[in-house]
Structures are given as C-alpha cells and as structure tokens.
C-alpha cells in the first residue's frame, strides 16, 4: 500500500509564552510542519515519534460542512497552533528506550541503528541491550547527520 502525503511547513516568531521555557537555549522562531494524511494520524504519530498530532481542517466545520464565502480559517489555525505550542519535558535520566527506524550491519563497523530516543540517554562507550537481537553491544560512535557526537538524548532524532 502506498500513501500519498502532502507536506507543508511555516515558521513563526517564537510565541511569548515559550520565551521563559527556553532555558539556556536561544530560539527566535518556531517551525510547524503540516502533513496532509486524512485518516492516517495514528500511522504518522508512529513514524515521527513523540511529536504532537492535531487533527485540523482548514475549512470551518470540516470537509463535510457546507461551502461558504467566508475565509477558510488559516490565520485562526496558525494563531491556535502558536497558542498551543509547548516545549516537551525532557528527562535524560532513566533507562534508555529507543524507537528503532533501521538496524543493519556494516562490515568492519558493526551494527548500525537509527531511530528516536524516547527516554533516557546514551554515550560513546556505554553498553546497551538490543532485545530484538538478544545481544548486548558497546557503543563505538554516535552520529547525527554525519557529525560525530559524544552523547545522545531524547531531544534529537538519531
């Protein structure tokens, strides 16, 4: 089965209510990504991990609502998204839990795993258990977009 999905993104100035919760991170904007996936919200939630999914319709009343000459509600939707935006609570403590996207071997390198850390953190030289493979392995290196890292936590996609 093939799903045809439409994507759109837009950036807005960082809403005022988020400025205090930035901590030592300095952000000046917030990006929203919209995915057109009618009826497939649970699938998309699985694919992109812990990102909030909000079912919306740009047409007031939804697609079944009768046609009107009124604007289709995009500015109101953007205002609502800005008002509801929040930074998720991140806790690097606790056991590592990672949603694995891909797992494969490279000769001379070992097992390569890509995915999203849902809980906890890890560092180079840590030992991790891979339950699906029934093995324990030492982390030799970490990369994010081809840039070597010394540690990883749930804040980023790996």
98 with 117: CB under 8 angstroms? yes
147 with 156: CB under 8 angstroms? no
Q: How confident is the model at residue 153 (pLDDT cuts 50, 70, 90)?
A: confident
Mean pLDDT in residue range 10-24 = 83
**pLDDT given at position 51:** 60
Residue 41 backbone phi and psi in degrees, to 5: -60, -40
pLDDT tens-digit readout, 120-136 = 889 999 999 888 778 88
List the chain domain ranges.
6-84, 97-153
**pLDDT given at position 88:** 72
Residue 156 confidence (pLDDT) above 60: no
């Amino acid at each position: 089965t093939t799903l045809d999905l439409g994507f759109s993104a837009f950036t807005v100035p960082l809403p005022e209510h988020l400025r205090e919760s930035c901590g030592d991170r300095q952000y000046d904007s917030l990006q929203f990504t919209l995915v057109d996936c009618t009826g497939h919200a649970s699938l998309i939630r699985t694919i992109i991990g812990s990102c909030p999914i909000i079912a919306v319709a740009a047409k007031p009343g939804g697609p079944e609502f009768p046609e009107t000459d009124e604007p289709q509600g995009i500015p109101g939707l953007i205002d609502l998204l800005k008002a509801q935006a929040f930074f998720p609570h991140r806790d690097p403590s606790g056991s590592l839990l990672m949603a694995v996207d891909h797992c494969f071997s490279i000769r001379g390198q070992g097992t390569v795993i890509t995915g999203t850390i849902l809980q906890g953190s890890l560092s180079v030289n840590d030992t991790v258990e891979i339950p699906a493979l029934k093995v324990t392995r030492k982390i030799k290196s970490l990369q994010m977009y081809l840039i070597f890292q010394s540690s990883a936590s749930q804040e980023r996609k790996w």
